[in-house]
């Protein structure tokens, strides 16, 4: 169904001729063929025309005239009745094959009396008086081929170079594109989940429509607005909405468009961009990914990049320099504000920084509704459930979630997207697609089931862990099995008890696996990595260690900025480093012992969960909680017959009535994927 729809949509836009070329290519080929044929024809005609005529004397001409051999002749009298005058024309002759041909001739100095002219012209014969001047014709035939070649060169080379703006003197021209309002249909109605950011940037639109409203009290509109936030939160979409709402010129350019292979091009393009903007004031300029050109100067091993620094200097001067003019508002977007030059961030250049954060539960529901306008949803779909189950998702991930759900529904032949497709798409976007075709031995499957059962059991037993969503031994993404937990609310902070319980739950998988296999495997590698990283954060950054106290050890920077951090040494002593290592090990070992005690105390329930996973492959959180509380297990309902290649939920999975609201993963498992960012 999807393929047929896509063909019908594209069919009205571009049609390919039967020879496999599009219209532009066909026209170009025909033009070349016509020009080449015309040029060859002109040279052939010129060659034939340039063949020298046969010289005839006056007596020979008269003899051929009396013998009716003159096919055509012209006598140029020059306005006099008798004179020495040239005669040109053609006479008939038989060639070697017996075929009659016409041979051009010329009689240069013939002398005709009036009586001779009367005999030649009366009665009307093939001889006429007044031969045309052939000098102009000869010049035209001689020059025409060269004119054709010159026209060809201009049409296919000079004209296209000028049209494309790629001339030798146009490298310094700005690549900023002026966005026309009739082509940009995005408005503030298409933006959701970032109400605070939208309110701040909407002031720019109001100022452009009614500047006196702000100037009455002495206010001045910000010269620049810098939008910062994680990738996919809608910074560029917000700029498109400003362009759609503002009744002013809007220029759009990317930070990478300034820098070229030639030295000095970046600075020249900055100056040219502002020169174009001054002609259209008031106007807005949007620079996407400004960190490509606005990085801090003077950093980096071996010195900075002079070309990029010249571009940045030109941008700084144009934004707020000695000859700055009012009426140009700069809007920039980046997800790396930490690497921007301080001179670029000061008031007067970027007066306002707008943070575009990840949406909360209400924002996610609004975003889903915006993107669902183009998706055919079933009447029973409740987007609020999906919004509560997707904390930490960006707007781009939510849009991808709906698209994946539509693809899943189309693949199974459904007429609309239902709740199971949305649930499966959510898990697929976060944790990867199920790999049911992956061949696992019985031993590997049993070890995986006990491993995941350990995570699930301890997650339910502990008080400060996120609610269990479901546990599965179906390989998904890079993991052989996954234990999925979703928080009740958006997580803004990590508390100490919650961090300790998370480490305990993370270590439970290896303990349970060791019980059934009497051995340990590399499947707990990601569990150990997550537990160690969380324990280090507790000790070094969060002040959750009684021994080391509320002191920050080391910088908690996510990225290393070359030159600023590469050569930095530790800001704590070796003895403190040993204390940190010992404290991290103490936290992890304590969590390991706690997890071991819990599993030993509930060995029978662990076995029930593991056997349920071996039989049904997937259990939801409610079923695991039932096992822990009552020691009984209610089998999930049988899957419907012939479910199709991809169902929304795996076989044996039941959807909870109130699914929790996603969490930074603690998804320990055999090869569990990396955790999502908290909050």
- Residue numbers annotated as active site: 452
CA dist 591 → 59, 471, 499, 587 (Å): 129, 21, 10, 6
Distance CA(71)–CA(53), nearest Å, equals 14
CA dist 37 → 29, 31, 141, 146, 362 (Å): 12, 10, 16, 14, 70
Q: Report DSSP state, residue 488.
A: S
First to last CA, the chain: 39
Q: State the residue for tokens 């170079």.
A: 161
Helix (H, G, I), strand (E, B) or coil at 566: coil
CA dist 524 → 272, 501, 509, 519 (Å): 58, 17, 7, 12
Both tokens of residue 432?
Answer: 């990867």
- Percent helix, strand, coil in the chain, to 5, is 45, 10, 40
- How many Cβ atoms are within 10 Å of 460's Cβ, its own excluded? 21
**Residue 178: which H helix or E strand, with range?**
strand 177-178
Phi, psi of 252 (to 5 degrees): -125, 135
Distance CA(502)–CA(464), nearest Å, equals 8
For residue 87, give the nearest of 71, 64, 115, 111 by alpha carbon: 111
Distance CA(641)–CA(625), nearest Å, equals 28
Angle of helix 603-616 relative to helix 621-630, nearest 10 degrees?
Answer: 150
Distance CA(411)–CA(212), nearest Å, equals 57
Q: Where are the alpha helices (DSSP H) in 476-569?
A: 496-517, 525-540
Phi, psi of 139 (to 5 degrees): -65, -40
Phi, psi of 219 (to 5 degrees): -75, 155
Torsion of CA 388, 394, 397, 398, to 10 degrees: 40
On whether the CB atoms of residues 612 and 451 are closer than 8 A, the answer is no
The CA R_g of the chain, rounded to the nearest whole Å, is 42
Q: State the residue for tokens 């100037």.
A: 215
Distance CA(568)–CA(559), nearest Å, equals 13
Both tokens of residue 181?
Answer: 């309002």
Core vs surface per residue 347-368: b (16+ CB within 10 A) or e: eebbbbebebbbbebebbbbbb
282 cis-preceded (ω within 30 degrees of 0): yes
| Strand residue runs (E) in 395-518 | 468-472, 482-485
Q: What is the 3-state secondary structure (H, E, C) of 290-356?
A: HHHCCECCCCCCCCCCHHHHHHHHHHHHHHCCCCCCCCEEEEEEECCHHHECHHHHCCCCCCEEEEC
CA dist 624 → 100, 348, 446 (Å): 110, 59, 18
For residue 517, give the nearest of 355, 330, 670, 298 by alpha carbon: 670
Judge residue 44's burial from the number of C-beta atoms within 10 Å of its C-beta, 0-12 exposed, 13-18 middle, 19 or more buried.
exposed
């Amino acid at each position: 169904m999807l393929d047929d729809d896509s063909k019908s949509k594209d069919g009205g836009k571009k049609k390919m001729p039967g020879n496999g070329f599009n219209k532009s290519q066909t026209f170009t080929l025909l033009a070349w063929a016509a020009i080449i044929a015309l040029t060859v024809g002109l040279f052939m005609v010129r060659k034939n025309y340039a063949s020298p005529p046969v010289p005839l004397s006056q007596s020979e001409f008269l003899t051929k005239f009396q013998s009716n051999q003159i096919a055509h002749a012209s006598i140029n009298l020059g306005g006099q009745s008798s004179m020495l005058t040239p005669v040109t024309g053609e006479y008939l002759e038989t060639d070697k094959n017996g075929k009659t041909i016409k041979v051009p001739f010329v009689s240069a100095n013939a002398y005709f009396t009036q009586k001779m002219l009367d005999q030649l012209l009366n009665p009307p014969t093939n001889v006429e008086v007044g031969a045309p001047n052939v000098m102009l014709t000869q010049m035209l035939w001689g020059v025409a081929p060269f004119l054709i070649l010159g026209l060809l060169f201009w049409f296919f080379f000079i004209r296209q170079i000028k049209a494309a703006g790629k001339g030798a003197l146009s490298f310094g021209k700005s690549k900023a594109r002026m966005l026309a309002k009739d082509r940009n249909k995005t408005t503030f109605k298409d933006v959701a989940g970032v109400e605070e950011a939208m309110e701040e940037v909407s002031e720019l639109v109001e100022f452009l429509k009614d500047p006196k409203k702000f100037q009455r009290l002495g206010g001045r509109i910000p010269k620049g607005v810098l939008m910062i936030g994680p990738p996919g939160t809608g910074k560029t979409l917000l700029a498109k909405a400003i362009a759609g709402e503002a009744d002013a010129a809007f220029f759009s350019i990317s930070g990478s468009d300034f820098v070229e292979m030639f030295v000095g091009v970046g600075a020249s393009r900055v100056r040219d961009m502002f020169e174009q903007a001054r002609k259209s004031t008031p106007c807005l300029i949007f620079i996407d990914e400004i960190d490509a050109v606005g990085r801090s100067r003077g950093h980096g091993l071996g010195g900075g990049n002079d070309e990029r620094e010249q571009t940045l200097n030109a941008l700084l001067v144009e934004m707020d320099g000695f000859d700055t003019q009012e009426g140009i508002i700069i809007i920039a977007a980046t997800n790396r504000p930490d690497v921007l030059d301080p001179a670029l961030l000061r008031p007067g250049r970027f007066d306002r920084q707008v943070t575009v954060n990840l949406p909360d539960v209400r924002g996610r529901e609004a975003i889903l509704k915006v993107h669902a306008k183009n998706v055919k949803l079933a009447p029973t779909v409740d987007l609020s459930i999906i919004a509560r189950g997707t904390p930490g998702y960006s707007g781009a991930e939510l849009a991808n979630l709906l698209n994946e759900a539509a693809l899943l529904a189309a693949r199974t032949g459904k007429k609309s997207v239902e709740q199971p497709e949305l649930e499966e798409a959510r898990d697929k976007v976060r944790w990867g697609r199920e790999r049911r075709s992956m061949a696992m031995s019985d031993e590997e499957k049993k070890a995986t089931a006990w491993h995941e059962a350990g995570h699930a059991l301890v997650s339910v037993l502990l008080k400060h862990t996120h609610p269990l969503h479901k546990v599965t031994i179906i390989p998904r993404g890079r993991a052989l099995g996954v234990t999925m937990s979703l928080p009740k609310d958006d997580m803004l902070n990590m508390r100490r008890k919650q961090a300790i319980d998370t480490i305990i739950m993370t270590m439970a998988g290896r303990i349970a696996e060791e019980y059934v296999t009497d051995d340990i495997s590399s499947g707990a590698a990601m569990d150990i990595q997550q537990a160690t990283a969380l324990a280090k954060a507790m000790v070094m950054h969060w002040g959750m260690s009684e021994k080391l106290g509320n002191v920050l050890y080391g910088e908690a920077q996510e990225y290393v900025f070359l030159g600023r951090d590469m050569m930095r040494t530790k800001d704590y002593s070796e003895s403190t480093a040993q204390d940190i290592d010992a404290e991290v090990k103490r936290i992890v070992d304590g969590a390991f012992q706690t997890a071991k005690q819990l599993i030993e105390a509930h060995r029978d329930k662990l076995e029930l969960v593991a056997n349920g996973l071996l039989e049904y492959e997937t259990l939801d959180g409610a079923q695991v909680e039932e096992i822990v509380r009552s020691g009984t297990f209610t089998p999930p309902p049988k899957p419907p017959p012939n479910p199709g290649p991809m169902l929304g939920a795996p076989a044996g999975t039941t959807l909870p009535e109130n699914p929790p609201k996603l969490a930074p993963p603690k998804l320990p498992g055999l090869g569990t994927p990396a955790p999502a960012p908290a909050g």
